[in-house]
């Protein structure tokens, strides 16, 4: 089944404790992206990747890191999480840009206390 | 910078009736794409419909159709014969054309309630 998977689905952590949210797609998509969703703000892009070893900042990259060592994986790293990073996170992928559909993962609910 | 605005935080509709969700966007580009995504309580983001800006004909997908007004920069979603399963948060999204279209810019969302 073609899909985007994220782990974990739920995470409660404390301020400053490094964490990684994994994202994997099995559709051989070139383009991958991370978004965060906050009430009243919709989804905002954090980072994106056009292909292996090619990543760039989105609209809200502060406090996040990413890497794209393999085509299928695009982990999101929070080196020192803070309470303002409490949010719902989505990973997405698409074959290409333009009219191509972005396929979203199931989301990761992160709470930083 | 491109912006997408959904001016209706909440909407409700009776089952089997028709409802229209509004979306406006701001861009100076001529090449771009517009999307509507649905997010049910499961949180999964599901593509509902998409439109290429260069196409004058409005996109349709079964009970879902759009009213694309390029000059007015408006992209509304019409849901006909509403069903209980249509209840969800709906997001309008914009993407620039070409290699620079690396991001989807989303609106704030409209929460749709379907009353039986």
Handedness of CA B110, A108, A47, A81 (dihedral sign): positive
What is the per-residue pLDDT for B66? 98
Q: What is the pLDDT of residues A43-95, one digit of tens each?
A: 999 999 999 999 999 999 999 999 999 999 999 999 999 999 999 999 999 99
* pLDDT confidence band for B101 (50 / 70 / 90): confident
Residue B2 and residue B39: Cα distance in Å, rounded? Answer: 22
Residue-averaged pLDDT of chain B: 94
Residue A42 and residue A62: Cα distance in Å, rounded? Answer: 18
- A-B CB pairs within 8 A amount to 58
Residue B92 and residue B24: Cα distance in Å, rounded? Answer: 9
Q: Which residues contact B19 (CB under 8 A, 6 or more apart)?
A: B11, B13, B78, B79, B82, B112
The residue in chain A having the minimum alpha-carbon distance to the alpha carbon of residue B49 is A101
Q: How far apart are the first and last CA of chain B?
A: 41
A1 touches B: beta carbon within 8 Å: no
Residue B81 and residue B15: Cα distance in Å, rounded? Answer: 7
Residue A58 and residue A65: Cα distance in Å, rounded? Answer: 11
* pLDDT confidence band for A2 (50 / 70 / 90): confident
Distance from CA of A108 to the nearest CA of B (A): 10
Contact B14, B63 (CB under 8 A): no
Q: Do A90 and B97 touch (CB under 8 A)?
A: no
What is the per-residue pLDDT for A15? 97
Question: Chain B contacts of A23, Cβ < 8 Å?
Answer: none
Q: What is the pLDDT of residues A18-35, one digit of tens each?
A: 999 999 999 999 999 999
Of A42, A88, A99, the CB nearest to B43: A88
Q: What is the pLDDT of residues B8-64, one digit of tens each?
A: 999 999 999 999 999 999 999 889 999 999 999 999 999 999 999 999 899 999 999
**DSSP letters along B37-79, please?**
EEE-TT---EEEEEEETT--SPPEETTEEEEEETTTTEEEEEE
């Amino acid at each position: 089944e073609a899909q985007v998977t994220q782990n974990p689905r739920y995470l409660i952590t404390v301020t400053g404790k490094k964490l990684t949210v994994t994202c994997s797609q099995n559709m051989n998509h070139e383009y991958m992206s991370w978004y965060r969703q906050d009430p009243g703000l919709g989804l905002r892009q954090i980072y994106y990747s056009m292909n292996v070893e090619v990543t760039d900042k989105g609209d809200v990259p502060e406090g996040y890191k990413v890497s794209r060592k393999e085509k299928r994986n695009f982990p999101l790293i929070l080196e020192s999480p803070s309470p303002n990073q409490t949010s719902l996170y989505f990973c997405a992928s698409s074959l290409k840009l333009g009219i191509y559909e972005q396929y979203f993962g199931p989301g990761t609910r992160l709470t930083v206390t | 910078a491109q912006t997408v605005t959904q001016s209706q935080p909440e909407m409700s509709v009776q089952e089997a009736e028709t409802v229209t969700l509004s979306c406006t966007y701001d861009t100076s580009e001529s090449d771009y794409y517009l999307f509507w995504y649905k997010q049910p309580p499961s949180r999964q983001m599901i593509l509902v419909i998409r439109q290429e800006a260069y196409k004058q004909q409005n996109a349709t997908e079964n009970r879902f159709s759009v009213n694309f007004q390029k000059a007015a920069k408006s992209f509304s979603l019409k849901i006909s014969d509403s069903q209980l399963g249509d209840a969800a948060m709906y997001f309008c999204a914009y993407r620039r054309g070409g290699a620079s279209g690396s991001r989807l810019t989303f609106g704030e969302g409209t929460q749709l309630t379907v009353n039986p």
